[in-house]
Structure 1
Amino acid sequence: MTEDNRLRDVFDAIADPTRRRLIRLLAEAEELPLHELTSQFQMGRTAVSKHLAILKEAGVVRDRKVGRETRFRLNAAPLREIQDWVAFYSKFWSTNMQRLKQLFEEEEE
């Protein structure tokens, strides 16, 4: 699945704290099987699977079968969209804070 044909918006996919935690766990490991991911949460395998499916629809997670086990890994490329969005507002706030600082300095003179 390429970024162009994602089934779900990446912002929607990361909106849930459980999914953000799954992303972090996968970022810290090369690949994790479902049972290891499930052990990190106080919810059942089905619930974790549903969260992983949402991340997969957004292209943030990829999976592969190894025998009867499903292993998951992070695909961080779609997260660039979020990074770009945050960077824009970071520049916005930085510029406005500089303007505010200038105003305060002008008032002190």
Structure 2
Amino acid sequence: MVKYKDAALDRTFAALSDPTRRALLARLVDRKSLSVSELAQPFAMSLPAIMKHLDVLSDAGLIAREKTGRTVACSLTAQPMEQAMNWLTHYARFWSESFDRLAALLEEEPWPKPHPPAPSPGNPASLSRGASVRHRKKSGRRGSSRKD
């Protein structure tokens, strides 16, 4: 069953909403674990800023931290993402069914093919063949426009 009001799911989506945090997770996909400094290396931000992102990921349960001496290593944990995928799959079924109904409707209706417009004789920019006459603008009388 899909839970609709779940604080853990809210934290997961909030953590995944930031591109830096998603990039940090992507770096952990191929490796078992990385130290904080190794994770921070490609980013153009301070180590304290990276640490704040790691705090959000850790609070959401998306990473686990392990301290060995002075080195803190981070590793990916999959359970919160599995819950998020279950939630998304529930809605993917809804959209899939909607698209299937739309495809069936489009397949059963024969749609007429549009005909290209017929070329018009003469100049396509002007519908009339007559020359236009330019009229002179009428102005008021000459002199002062101010009444005394």
2:114 corresponds to 1:101: no
- 2:85 pairs, out of 83, 86, 97, with 83
Partner of 1:71: 73
Question: Partner residue of 1:16?
Answer: 18
The CA distance in 1 between the partners of 2:91 and 2:30, in whole Å, is 27
Higher relative contact order (CA 8 A, sep 6+): 1
Query: CA–CA distance in 2 between the matches of 1:102 and 1:65?
Result: 57
Number of residue-to-residue matches in the alignment:
105
Pick the structure with more helix per residue.
Answer: 1
Counterpart amino acid of 2:76?
L
* Same amino acid, percent of matched pairs: 37
TM-score (norm 2): 0.66
Match of residue 47, structure 2, among 30, 45, 48: 45
- Counterpart of 2:35, as a letter, is P
Matched, 1:29 2:27: no
Unaligned regions of 5+ residues in structure 1, if any?
none
User: Which has the higher Rg, Structure 1 or Structure 2?
Assistant: 2
TM-score (norm 1): 0.87
User: How many Å separate the matches in 2 of 1:46 and 1:34?
Assistant: 10
The residue aligned with 2:56 is 54
Structure 2: unaligned runs, 5 residues or longer: 1-5, 112-148
- CA apart distance, 1:93: 1.6
